[in-house]
Structure 1
Amino acid sequence: MSRIRQFFLHAIIWLVLLLFFVFISSRSGSVSEALVIFVYFGFCNIAIFYINYLYLLPRYLNSREYLACAASIIGLILVSGLLKYGLANVFSDTILVRGQTSGAIGFRDYYIASVFTSTFFVFTSTALKFSTDWFVNEKVKRSLEKEKLAAELAFLKSQINPHFLFNSLNNIYSLAYQRSDKTPEAVLKLSEIMRYMLQESNEVRVDLARELRYLDNYIELQKLRFKNDAYVNLSVEGDDHDKKIAPLILIAFVENAFKHGVASDPQHPIEIHIKITSDRLNFSVINRKNSHNKDLTSGIGLNNVKRRLDLLYPDRYYLNITDREVTYCTELSLVL
Structure 2
Amino acid sequence: MRPFIERPILILAVPWIVYPTVDIISTVYLKLESNGIPFALVTTVIGFLTSCIYFFWLIPSFFYSKRTLFIAGISMASIAVLALTKYVMFWATGIVDYAFGDFVVYELMRQLVFFPVTMTVWAVYMLIRALQEKHKTEIRLDKLSIDYRNARLSPHFMLNLIGDISTKSLRYSPELFEDLNHFITILRYAYLDTDKFNSLASEVEALQSYLHGQKVRFEESFCFQEDIDASLLEKDELYMPKLLLITLIENVFKHGIFQDADYPVIISAGIAHDDSALQVFCFSTTNKVGKTPPLEKSGFGIDTVRNIIDYFFPNAELNTASNGAVFSLNLTIPYATPNQTWPDR
TM-score normalised by length of structure 1? 0.59
CA 62–254 in structure 1, closer or farther in 2 if over 3 Å, else same: closer
**Are the equivalent residues in 2 in contact too, given 1:52–1:122 (CA < 8 A)?**
yes
Does residue 236 of structure 1 match 2:225?
yes
Q: How does 1:315-334 map to 2 (within 5 A)?
A: 316=320, 333-334=327-328
Structure 1 partner of 2:313? none
Structure 2 partner of 1:261? none
**Are the equivalent residues in 1 in contact too, given 2:90–2:96 (CA < 8 A)?**
yes
How many percent identity over aligned positions? 13
Give the drift of 1:41.
1.6
Structure 1 partner of 2:245? 246
Q: Distance in 2 between matches of 1:303 and 1:275?
A: 24
Q: What are the superposed Cα offsets for residues 69-101 of structure 1, whole Å, 9 maximum, x if unpaired?
A: 77776666666655544443324x4312xxxxx
**Are the equivalent residues in 2 in contact too, given 1:274–1:283 (CA < 8 A)?**
yes
Q: Distance in 1 between matches of 2:139 and 2:288?
A: 31
Structure 1 partner of 2:287? 283
1:247 counterpart SS class: helix
CA RMSD of aligned residues (A): 5.1
CA 74–53 in structure 1, closer or farther in 2 if over 3 Å, else same: same
Does residue 128 of structure 1 match 2:124?
no
1:335 counterpart SS class: strand
Give the drift of 1:40.
3.0
2:223 counterpart SS class: strand
2:246 counterpart SS class: coil
Q: What are the superposed Cα offsets for residues 151-191 of structure 1, whole Å, 9 maximum, x if unpaired?
A: 21232134332111111222333456xxx252463353132
Moved more, 107-116 or 66-75: 66-75
Which of residues 181, 186, 190 is equivalent to 2:176? 186
Which of residues 151, 161, 165 is equivalent to 2:154? 161
**Are the equivalent residues in 2 in contact too, given 1:22–1:34 (CA < 8 A)?**
no
Does residue 141 of structure 1 match 2:134?
yes
Larger Rg: 1
Q: What are the superposed Cα offsets for residues 163-220 of structure 1, whole Å, 9 maximum, x if unpaired?
A: 11111222333456xxx25246335313224415644998698899868744552255
Give the drift of 1:144.
1.2
Give the drift of 1:132.
0.9
Structure 2 partner of 1:335? 329
CA 312–44 in structure 1, closer or farther in 2 if over 3 Å, else same: closer
How many residues are aligned here? Answer: 279
CA 21–9 in structure 1, closer or farther in 2 if over 3 Å, else same: same
Unaligned residue ranges in structure 2 (runs of 5+) = 233-239, 269-281, 308-318, 331-345
Which of residues 144, 155, 160 is equivalent to 1:151? 144
**Are the equivalent residues in 1 in contact too, given 2:51–2:118 (CA < 8 A)?**
yes
Q: What are the superposed Cα offsets for residues 5-61 of structure 1, whole Å, 9 maximum, x if unpaired?
A: 655676676466546656748x7789xx73431443233222211122222233443
**Are the equivalent residues in 2 in contact too, given 1:153–1:308 (CA < 8 A)?**
no
Q: Distance in 2 between matches of 1:41 and 1:35?
A: 10
Unaligned residue ranges in structure 1 (runs of 5+) = 97-104, 224-229, 258-268, 287-301, 321-330
CA 65–126 in structure 1, closer or farther in 2 if over 3 Å, else same: farther
TM-score normalised by length of structure 2? 0.58
**Are the equivalent residues in 2 in contact too, given 1:61–1:69 (CA < 8 A)?**
no
Structure 1 partner of 2:185? 195
Amino acid of the residue matched to residue 287 of structure 2? F
Structure 1 partner of 2:276? none
